[in-house]
Amino acid sequence: MTPLVTLPMESYQLAKYAEPLVCFVCEFENNYDAEICRCCGAPMALTHQAGNYKTAPQMIAVVGPPKSGKTVYLGMLLDLLARRTSGIRALARGAFSVTLQQQTVESLATCQFPEATPSAAEHWNWVHCQVHLAGRQVQLMNRRSTREIVFVDSAGDAQQTHLDNEQYQPAVSAMLARSAAALVVVDVTQVESGGSDAEYFAVKALSNLAELPRTKKGRTAWQKRPVAVVFTKADGCEICCDDPTSYADRHCSGLAQFCRDRFSKVAFFATSVARSTTTRYGEDIPLRIEPRGIVEPFEWLTSRMRR
């Protein structure tokens, strides 16, 4: 015979479920104890952290086709900003914001490039960081010395299927609509080989951004938001490194003209992470890590993002 036991009814616990937790990225309603958003896959820690600020963090959309170098660039960018003692600096907010930097540095230290970003949004690396500005940037930002920035290392194939209307990707759609600036990645090696896929992808992405409506009152239209076109893997192309704007005019004239016609704030940059590489079993291997032009695109974007 089972003895009777009196247990208190903790009904107050149910009150937590009465108020939904709205995702910071896509504004989908989740339960208060959800770890990732059921719609876009973003960590709900972003939402909890964003609630601690009077002004919500701003997002930067990072777009580029598969194998264009987004992961390596973003991971190296975070590592350089975290190690700086002067100028523009960045401090990670939340343990999830350190993963991208850690994986990139560990891979490069073993003469390997990071693995391709998985297609599933719940496996993407999201980053929330506090950016400290200095000098001329503070003047451009109306003397605000810090800014909260969020971006994600999303899969290139997910972006491609979304832009080609092959499959709707809610995470990609939310990222593009939510962002206050865009960083468009173009692989120089594809341009130098005579291919035009990298340029077509960039034009598709920017065309999609230009047509997005303002979802909230007071939010700047995409035509007035800053766009940085970043030529990655430019270590073997000195012409691109010396003058990326002229390189864009000569080798990606369609992209350059489209940017100037549709956006009021556009700049072109050239970056590289590995100074020398080799190929083994069909895979590129970095031999010497020598970052070049990594911080400049991010610095330009943050100084021109408006509230």
Taking only the tens place, the pLDDT of each residue in 240-283 is: 999 999 999 999 999 999 999 999 999 999 999 987 777 776 67
pLDDT of residue 236: 81
Whether residue 5 is contained in a domain is answered as: no
Whether residue 1 is contained in a domain is answered as: no
pTM for this entry = 0.88
pLDDT of residue 286: 79
Q: Report the distance separating Cα 253 and Cα 32, nearest Å.
A: 49
Whether residue 207 is contained in a domain is answered as: yes
SS3 269: strand
Give me the residue label for tokens 């930067």. 60
**Where in the sequence is the domain holding 249, given as residue range(s)?**
15-304
Whether residue 8 is contained in a domain is answered as: no
Packing angle of the helix pair 253-262, 197-210 (nearest 10 deg) = 10
CATH number of the domain to which 235 belongs: 3.40.50.300
Both structure tokens of 147: 């800014």
Rg of the chain in Å (alpha carbons): 21
Give pLDDT tens digits for 129-147.
999 987 655 555 444 688 9
pLDDT of residue 274: 85
Ranges under pLDDT 70 in the chain = 1-2, 6-18, 135-144, 214-219, 281-282, 307
Whether residue 10 is contained in a domain is answered as: no
Counted domains in the chain: 1
Whether residue 274 is contained in a domain is answered as: yes
Give pLDDT tens digits for 272-282.
998 777 777 66
Whether residue 6 is contained in a domain is answered as: no
Whether residue 4 is contained in a domain is answered as: no
Q: Which of the 8 DSSP states describes residue 82?
A: H
Say if residues 76 and 103 touch (Cβ distance below 8 Å): no
